[in-house]
Amino acid sequence: MEYPDIIYSKEGHIATITLNRPERMNAFSMAMIDSIQRALQDAAADAEIRVIVVTGAGRGFCAGLDLKEPPDFRGGFSGQTAAQAPAMPLITSSIDKPIIASLNGAAIGWGLELALLCDIRVAAGNARIGDRHLNYSVIADNGGLFILPRLVGWAKACELSFTGQLIDGKEAERIGLVNKAVPPEQLEATTREMANTIANQPPLAVQLTKRAMRDGLSSDLRTSQDYAIVLLRQLVGSEDFGEAMKALMEGRQPQFQGR
């Protein structure tokens, strides 16, 4: 299957989606949006994949929508590919496998929103990050307005959104927008280490943990607790739980199969 404007690869239990328009700082084309969505869905359906990494080629993660190839906003999105653009938040929120954004450079506008749709963000310390939708008299429309206040708090989200200011990776780490900010030369290794650490965890338990936490954001404590017990019962009956108990008794590392 072809994936225009991205590089989609799999190695072991990790799938990597690399935005691949470096000459445009990986700004979104409509073809790229479609490719990202299809790659995410493929990785979600692949039983061998346990972690998904999203990054960019060249100097930037994603500079946002390519304004040299904008859709016809006044007439609405035209064509099947363009009409799928608002589906990105729904696709990412339906995936139980962890998604890591590796911000190798600028993440602006839709680029920031793509990073926000991921579960974990690792950034180069010098990456430039921000939301400049208001500079063009539009608003963020790919989940950013929902996620940003939940990550950094209401006041800081207002400041970042209303001013359009850009911050670097270190500041993004300080306010909780990214999990880690590291020197650029360490970004790939740090991302890979985190992805491998998660991939070595029991995949069913990881995925159900993500599902329970995600659903809990819009639930109350009692409902969330009841749901957690239901999921726990499923896990106790899994082969991975049996393997974990057997490995514990035998003094070795468990080999999880996701069953």
Please state the domain extents for the chain.
6-199, 203-250
Helix (H) or strand (E) holding 238: none
Pure H helices in the chain: 30-45, 80-83, 88-93, 110-117, 144-152, 154-163, 169-174, 187-199, 203-216, 221-236, 239-250
pLDDT of 182: 98
| Cα 85 from Cα 253, distance rounded (Å) | 43
Mean pLDDT computed over 27-54:
96
Q: Give the pLDDT confidence of 188-213 residue by residue, as tens digits.
A: 999 999 999 999 999 999 999 999 99
**Residue-averaged pLDDT of the chain:** 91
Q: Give the pLDDT confidence of 154-171 residue by residue, as tens digits.
A: 999 999 999 999 999 999
The residue among 237, 239, 135, 253 whose CA lies nearest residue 201 is 253
Cα–Cα distance list, 200 to 29, 30, 186, 205, 258 (Å)? 35, 35, 21, 11, 11
Residue tagged 């338990």 (tokens)? 205
At residue 212, φ and ψ (nearest 5 deg) are -65, -40
May I ask the CATH architecture of the domain 203-250?
Orthogonal Bundle (1.10)
Strand partners for 53 = 16, 100
CATH of domain 6-199: 3.90.226.10
pLDDT higher than threshold 90 for residue 184: yes
Per cent of the chain over pLDDT 90 is 74
DSSP line for 129-140: EE--GGGGT---
The residue among 100, 89, 85 whose CA lies nearest residue 49 is 100
* 8 A C-beta contact, residue 122 and residue 101: yes
Mean pLDDT computed over 220-225:
92
Position 18 confidence tier, pLDDT thresholds 50, 70, 90: very high
pLDDT higher than threshold 50 for residue 247: yes
| Cα 50 from Cα 47, distance rounded (Å) | 8
| Cα 131 from Cα 162, distance rounded (Å) | 9
Q: Give the pLDDT confidence of 84-130 residue by residue, as tens digits.
A: 446 899 999 999 999 999 999 999 999 999 999 999 999 999 999 99
